[in-house]
Every structure is written in C-alpha cells, then in structure tokens.
Amino acid sequence: MKIEFENEIIECNVIYGNREKISIQIDSLGFITVKAPNGTSEAVIVKAVEHHGKKIVDKLHLIAEARNKPRTKEYQEQGKFLHLGKEYFLHELIDTAGLDEEELKKNLKKFYFNSCKKVIGERIKSYQAQLKVKPKSIEIEESRTKWGSCSSSKNLTFNYRLAMAPIDVIDYVIIHELCHLLHMNHDRSFWRRVGSIMPDYKEKEEYLARHGQAMTL
C-alpha cells in the first residue's frame, strides 16, 4: 500500500490477523509493516499511518541519511574504526606493522569476530537466566541485512559488526533474539517481553537505524 503524506510516499506492507489494534513497525532498512485486525478497511489503515506520518517520515529520512554516508575506510595506522561504540585508531585495535591494506582488513575483521563472540558469550548468560531460555547454539556470522536471527531450531546467530556498537545496543540484539525463543513472531507478546527486560529498546533500534551503515568495513 502506498500512502501520500506531506509530499512524501510512505510504502507499507499490510498484514491482517487476529489482533485488536493496528501497529506500525519500521525495521533498520526502512521496511514498513502495518499489522491490522482482520476486516480493517483501507481508509482506517490510511488514517492510522497518517496519524504517525511525521514520525514515520522522520525515521525514513534518518535511515536514508545513514545509508548515504561515506563508507570509505582508511586502512592505515591513523584510520579510525568503531569498537563497542567508541572510535579507535586502527593501530589501537590490531597490529599494523608491515601489513598491506588487504591484510589489515582481514585482521581487523578477525578482531571483530573474536570481540563479538567474546562480548555476546559474556552478556547473554544473565539474559538467558532472566528469560529462562537456552539457545541450542550461538554463532557469529557476516550479514549485510540482519543484526541477529533465531531459527525454529533455536539456533541464534549474531552479526560480527555488532562489536562496533555500544554494549547496551549489543544487549538489545541479544534480548531481541532470546525473546524469539519464546515468541517467533513480532507480535505484541514479543515486544512486551523485550520491553520487560529493556524498557528503552526503541532507543537501541534508533541507534542501529541511524548508525548501522557506518558500522561496516
């Protein structure tokens, strides 16, 4: 469905189901999902989207701005890279002596993989205890579209680029995926469970939407 709002086109994917209210979700890539009760008219959906139009458009602009930021990295000692939400010179993260750009990039990616594995391994334990869940496996992977995922077999995967994010943002992704062990869909029960552990989770989503494109090699 395409809805015009203040000279902007808001494109939504509408999903109908057994629910009481309309909800609107925007993922970190700018994909909008409207979930509506069965039988909801198009006019009611349009009105709901228009009611939140300013907030939706502002968030889409933030995502587009982050996506269009320069992504060229300087693979030299004074090049700066994110780690746990802070900027460091490359030589502060890995040994740079005598290495060419390809070797530096390879070693830096290895550093992030190891860091991500270590941080998630340490942080996930307390949240598992709070939620009373246990994943079958935990893997670190490379992905351009997902920060984390949970399979129907209870296998969790996390994007190695999370090592560039602040700890509280990493915690949000951990909580998000652990909650999928209880609720596989993004329904109200799922978000209530996430919010019970991290009430300000929307701020973490906003961080990923705003800074996600800068968290790259």
Q: How confident is the model over 100-116, as pLDDT tens digits? A: 889 999 999 999 999 99
Position 75 in a domain? no
Per-residue pLDDT, 29: 62
> Same domain, yes or no, for 56 and 85?
no
Q: What is the pLDDT of residues 114-152, one digit of tens each?
A: 999 999 999 999 999 999 999 999 999 998 778 999 998
CATH code for the domain in which residue 136 is found = 3.30.2010.10
Asked, for residue 74, whether it belongs to a domain, the answer is no
Per-residue confidence at 216, pLDDT binned at 50, 70, 90?
A: confident
* Tens-digit pLDDT profile for residues 161-203: 999 999 999 999 999 999 999 998 888 899 999 999 999 998 8
**Which helix or strand (DSSP H or E) is residue 150 part of?**
strand 148-150
Residue 172 lies in a domain: yes
Would 59 be classed as within a structural domain? yes
Among residues 12, 36, 67, which one ends one of the domains?
A: 67
Residues 103 and 202 in one domain: yes
Contacts of residues 11-18 at CB distance under 8 Å and 24 or more positions apart, as own/partner, are 12/45, 12/49, 14/45, 16/40
Could you tell me where the beta strands, DSSP code E, fall in 6-85? 8-17, 23-26, 32-37, 80-83
* Structural domains in the chain (count): 2
Domain boundary among 32, 67, 102: 67
Q: Same domain, yes or no, for 124 and 207?
A: yes
Does residue 137 sit in the same domain as residue 37?
no
Choose the final residue of a domain: 40, 67, 94: 67
The domain of 109 spans 80-214
* Residue 71 in this model has a pLDDT that exceeds 80: no
Q: In terms of domains, do 153 and 175 share one?
A: yes
Residue 163 located in a structural domain: yes
